[in-house]
Amino acid sequence: MRKVTLLLLMFATSMALASAYIPSSETSSGRLYGNLVDGYYYLLNTGKAICLLSGLFLTFGGVYQYSQHRKDPVYVPFSKVLVMFVCAVCAFVLAYMPGVQL
């Protein structure tokens, strides 16, 4: 898994560097690199949307689980509610991470 992630990261970095040095309007390979980099930004936007939706669903799920916990604390432990809220916060933070410029 680490090798695949490393290879994808190296590929994306090389495409970003190549698109910076090869203008997309002059050569066909430059247009290819430009399209690949655009696809990378679409992938980042998709990841951001997935994180936002996951955070939203985890928040609503946490509220529902908390209401169930209030009715019967034995049936739904508070740790489950707490973990859902912590995961929702992590998803929102990941979506709005300041290091990623979208």
Domain membership of residue 100 (yes or no) is no
Structural domain that includes position 70: 2-95
According to the model, what pLDDT value does residue 9 have?
A: 64
Q: How many domains does the chain divide into?
A: 1
The 10s digit of each residue's pLDDT in 17-48 is 555 555 555 555 566 666 666 767 777 778 88
- Residue 72 CB-density burial (10 A; 0-12 exposed, 13-18 middle, 19+ buried): exposed
**In the structure encoding, which two tokens stand for residue 30, read together?**
């430059």
70 found inside a domain:
yes
In a domain, 101, yes or no: no
Per-residue pLDDT tens for 46-58?
888 888 899 999 9
Question: Is 28 within the bounds of a domain?
Answer: yes
Average pLDDT, the chain: 76
Start-to-end CA span in the chain (Å):
26
In a domain, 102, yes or no: no
